[in-house]
Chains A and B, each alone.
Chain A
């Protein structure tokens, strides 16, 4: 069981991928963006679907649904813009979500259970539903490994 030290003042964003819900720390989220001009170009990083442009920034669109739910989202309606760390570099990255994001505060996550993926930082109990709290950095590394990609820069 991994240790999890969270402030009771911490806030979380609940996001939905298909039928499943997940949580990320609110401090790691910049915004929820509506439909943006999604673009693809030839590239070989399978877990990255393309890019969007927000506020004159080009952001990678990372498919996390394939790893977390077993299938990519069929449509991109909303993007959760998160802060992603690559070693010393922090970049905004877009995660397609189904919508229905909620801000949650006043909860203390439980530690993740043994055997759960390393990118589960903990679990949030909401009326009996245990919602995984995601570690975005480890999740990005896991999405890369899942498709046989290179190790993320540390």
Chain B
């Protein structure tokens, strides 16, 4: 698991180590991500010239790539993936150790949580992949995104194939 955060059902007294998270908003919904999973936060305005387009009908939440140190990262629209209302994201979270970056509307705050609760067993759908768990703050519960949960290996292979084909097409 990236970021070194383990979801657990019950916080124990022995595990009160505080975990830093970044809380951000997409389409009016708050999400969190372990701070150590984020390598860099960039404005979408500053990415012009560094991105390329990639489109696959079956993966509509990825439309752009960013190349960093020779590695292609796929820019994931959290809003599209999770079925939220369309917005105009202003920031990109470049993630550490995974091949995706996240489009978000705005950063709300940095915060610390002493525990991330496991998603209750009643949840049986894709959310088990999307979320590491749920962070409990004074004002409520915020889903903690799983950096590895947005692009499956199959999705990455398809995107890589499409990107490679686009590159060949561009150079011929």
- Chain A contacts to B: CB under 8 angstroms: 37, 39, 41-45, 47-48, 51, 53, 56-60, 62, 84, 86, 89, 91, 93, 140, 144, 149-150, 152-153
Additional A-B contacts beyond A39-B140, A149-B125 (6; CB < 8 A): A42-B83, A53-B140, A56-B11, A58-B141, A86-B121, A150-B125
Greatest chain B CB density within 10 A among A51, A150, A153 is at A51
In whole Å, how far is A139's beta carbon from the nearest beta carbon of chain B?
12
Chain B residues within an 8 Å CB radius of A152? 124
Decide yes or no whether B41 CB sits under 8 A from chain A: no
CA distance in complex: A93, B65 (Å): 41
Contacts of A140 in B (CB 8 A): 122
Count residues of B near A (Cβ-Cβ below 8 Å): 23
Within 8 Å CB of A84, what residues of B? 121-122
Tell me the smallest distance from the CB of A81 to a CB of chain B, in Å.
12
Considering the chains assembled together, what is the distance between the CA atoms of A44 and B129 in angstroms?
Answer: 11
- Once the chains are docked, how many angstroms separate the CA of A56 from the CA of B115? 11
Closest residue on chain A to residue B125 by CB atoms:
A44
Query: Which of A41, A57, A91 has the most C-beta atoms of chain B within 10 angstroms of its own C-beta?
Result: A41
The residue of chain A having its C-beta at the shortest distance from the C-beta of B11 within the complex is A56
Do the beta carbons of A93 and B120 come within 8 Å of each other?
yes
Q: Decide: B134 and A62 in contact? CB cutoff 8 A.
A: no
- Contacts A51-B134, A53-B136, A58-B134 given: A41-B141 contact, CB under 8 Å? yes
Q: Determine if A58 and B82 form an interchain contact, defined as CB atoms under 8 angstroms apart.
A: no
Contact assessment for B121 and A45 in the assembled complex, using a CB-CB cutoff below 8 Å: no
- CB atoms of A43 and B120 under 8 A apart: no
Q: Is residue B84 within 8 Å, beta carbon to beta carbon, of the partner chain? A: yes
CB contact between B127 and one of A45, A57, A91, A153 (< 8 Å): that residue: A45
B141–A43 contact, CB under 8 A?
no
Q: Is B50 positioned at the interface, with any CB of A under 8 Å from its CB?
A: no
CB of B29 within 8 Å of the partner chain: yes
Interchain nearest-CB distance for B109 vs A (Å): 18
Contact of B120 among A39, A91, A144, A153 (CB under 8 A): A91
Are B84 and A42 in contact (CB-based, < 8 A)?
A: yes
Tell me the minimal C-beta distance from A153 to chain B in angstroms. 7
Q: Are B124 and A149 in contact (CB under 8 A)?
A: yes
Residue contacts A-B, CB under 8 angstroms, 6 given = A41-B29, A41-B143, A45-B122, A47-B122, A48-B122, A91-B120
| Distance of B152 from chain A, by nearest CB (Å) | 15
Instruction: With CB as the reference atom, state the residue of chain A lying closest to B126.
Output: A44
